[in-house]
């Protein structure tokens, strides 16, 4: 049984365990080095001051997380967020990401946010050893639309990767 709840400071080590393989083995994250536990915990504490940060538990064990963060630093962008979701790699394709994003979207709507944006690594190569385009397909299924495509802007594992931005309008239209 999957339970979605708000993050707590005690969750940081478990979330970092989920995130580390994405840094070390994939181009999903453009970070080169896994953050320290202290740095990761600080990231969480900065985010929860203003934005939702959710975890998914399966029988009490954390198997994924999703959060929203600042899109841009200008005041005019305060109603738009950048979203991220990470699921334990052995648990992917089981609906956990969908549950997390649905709960995140619900919380963002409750708080009056207008749009969700996702910055996603993208490859044009078939069978890339470090990246698939599963995240793009996931976001499409979640109702996101392509907003921008930047070519050869991320360098990791001795190769160039593209980056796409996807968006989903969630607020009331005025």
Cα dist. 148→3, 9, 25, 102, 157 in Å? Answer: 34, 35, 26, 23, 23
Q: Taking the C-alpha atoms of 37, 30, 79 and 16 in order, what is their torsion angle to the nearest 10 degrees? A: -20
* Residue-level pLDDT at 174: 56
Q: Whole-angstrom Cα distance, residue 96 to residue 58?
A: 9
Q: Whole-angstrom Cα distance, residue 165 to residue 57?
A: 28
Domains of the chain: 2-169 (3.40.630.30)
Partners of residue 115 on adjacent β-strands: 80, 169
Q: Whole-angstrom Cα distance, residue 151 to residue 85?
A: 23
Helix (H) or strand (E) holding 139: helix 134-141
* Residue-level pLDDT at 94: 87
Tens-level pLDDT at each residue, the chain (174 residues): 899 999 999 999 999 999 999 999 999 999 999 999 999 999 999 999 999 999 999 999 999 999 999 999 999 999 999 999 999 998 888 899 999 999 999 999 999 999 999 999 999 998 999 999 999 999 999 999 999 999 999 999 999 999 999 999 998 765
Full DSSP string of 10-72: GGHHHHHHHHHHHHHH-SSS--SSPPPHHHHHHHHHHHHTTS-EEEEEETTEEEEEEEEEES-
CA 70 to chain centre: 12
> Which residues, other chains included, contact 77 with Cβ-Cβ below 8 Å and sequence gap of 6+?
70, 71
* Residue-level pLDDT at 135: 96
Q: Do 161 and 27 contact (CB within 8 A), yes or no?
A: yes
* Residue-level pLDDT at 126: 87
């Amino acid at each position: 049984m999957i339970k979605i709840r708000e993050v707590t400071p005690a969750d940081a080590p478990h979330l970092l365990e989920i995130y580390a393989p994405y840094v070390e083995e994939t181009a999903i994250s453009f970070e080169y080095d896994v953050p320290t536990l202290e740095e990761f915990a600080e990231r969480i504490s900065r985010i929860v001051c203003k934005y939702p940060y959710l975890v998914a538990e399966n029988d009490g064990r954390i198997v994924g997380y999703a959060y929203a963060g600042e899109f841009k630093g200008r005041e005019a962008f305060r109603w738009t967020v950048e979203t991220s979701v990470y699921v334990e790699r052995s648990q992917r394709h089981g609906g956990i990401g969908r549950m997390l994003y649905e709960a995140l979207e619900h919380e963002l709507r409750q708080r009056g946010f207008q749009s969700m944006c996702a910055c996603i690594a993208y490859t044009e190569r078939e069978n890339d050893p470090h990246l698939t385009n599963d995240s793009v397909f996931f976001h499409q299924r979640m109702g996101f639309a392509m907003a921008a495509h930047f070519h050869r802007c991320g360098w990791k594992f001795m190769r160039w990767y593209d980056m796409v931005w996807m968006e989903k309008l969630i607020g009331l239209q005025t």
